[in-house]
């Protein structure tokens, strides 16, 4: 055996597979497979044991990581539901406030002056707002609201896939983990 093979053999013997990371387990498997290739597929009992341990630990580690991802996804779903519940509660509270203010306003206006209610002071403030009751066609009273433009990613994607060149755009291949 060469010096390189001796070193690899020594590393494989010393490896405690249970304490290794997922990538380290894969490295042990690769090292043992290289030893097997160089020895016409022959492995010692110890090497076979380490190979099986490393492959088993890789699967166990993958399963744990997938479980962690599933746990985090459940947490995210729970948070989203809580956010929706809190938003609905806030909107209900805002409607109640608006309703109570509408109820109080005529009373306070009828008194003509601020009203002291315990530690609270009720008063009104006069303001004027414009209510549009139909379509305004007179150009003097119309304004232009600038429209925003943004890239249409779907059209750009179709064009790029069709072989057209779109300046400042390119297709990017992503690898997304799917766990089912």
Instruction: Give pLDDT tens digits for 121-169.
Output: 888 888 888 878 888 887 878 888 888 888 889 999 999 999 999 888 8
In a domain, 149, yes or no: no
In a domain, 85, yes or no: yes
| Confidence check: pLDDT of 10 > 80 | no
Distance separating the N- and C-terminal Cα atoms of the chain: 45
Instruction: Give pLDDT tens digits for 64-105.
Output: 888 889 999 999 999 999 999 999 999 999 999 989 988 988
Helical (H) or strand (E) element with 120: strand 120-122
Mapped onto helix, strand or coil, the DSSP state of residue 65 is: helix
Q: Which of 18-22, 140-144, 170-174 has the lowest mean pLDDT?
A: 18-22
In a domain, 80, yes or no: yes
In a domain, 47, yes or no: yes
Full domain range(s) for residue 90: 3-103
Query: How many separate domains does the chain show?
Result: 1
Phi-psi region of 170 (alpha: psi -120 to 50; beta: other; left: phi over 0): beta
In a domain, 83, yes or no: yes
| Confidence check: pLDDT of 14 > 70 | no
**Nearest of 72, 12, 74 to residue 48 by alpha carbon:** 12
Give the pLDDT of residue 50: 81
Give the pLDDT of residue 179: 53
Structure token pair of residue 116:
């002291």
DSSP state of 18: G
In a domain, 16, yes or no: yes
Report the relative pairing of strands 120-122 and 115-117 from DSSP bridges.
antiparallel
Give the pLDDT of residue 46: 82
């Amino acid at each position: 055996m060469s010096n390189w093979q001796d070193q690899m053999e020594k590393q494989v013997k010393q490896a405690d597979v249970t304490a290794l990371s997922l990538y380290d387990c894969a490295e042990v498997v690769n090292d043992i497979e290289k030893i097997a290739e160089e020895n016409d597929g022959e492995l010692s009992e110890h090497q076979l044991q380490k190979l099986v341990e490393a492959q088993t630990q890789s699967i166990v580690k993958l399963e744990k990581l997938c479980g962690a991802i599933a746990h985090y996804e459940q947490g995210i779903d729970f948070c989203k539901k809580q956010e929706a519940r809190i938003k609905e509660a806030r909107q209900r509270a805002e409607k109640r406030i608006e309703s109570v203010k509408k109820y109080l306003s005529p009373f306070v206006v009828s008194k003509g002056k601020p009203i002291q209610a315990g530690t609270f002071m009720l008063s009104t403030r006069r303001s004027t707002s414009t209510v549009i009751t139909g379509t305004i066609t007179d150009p003097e009273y119309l304004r232009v609201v600038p429209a925003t433009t943004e890239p249409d990613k779907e059209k750009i994607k179709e064009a790029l896939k069709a072989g057209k060149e779109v300046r400042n755009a390119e297709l990017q291949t992503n690898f997304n983990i799917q766990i089912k």
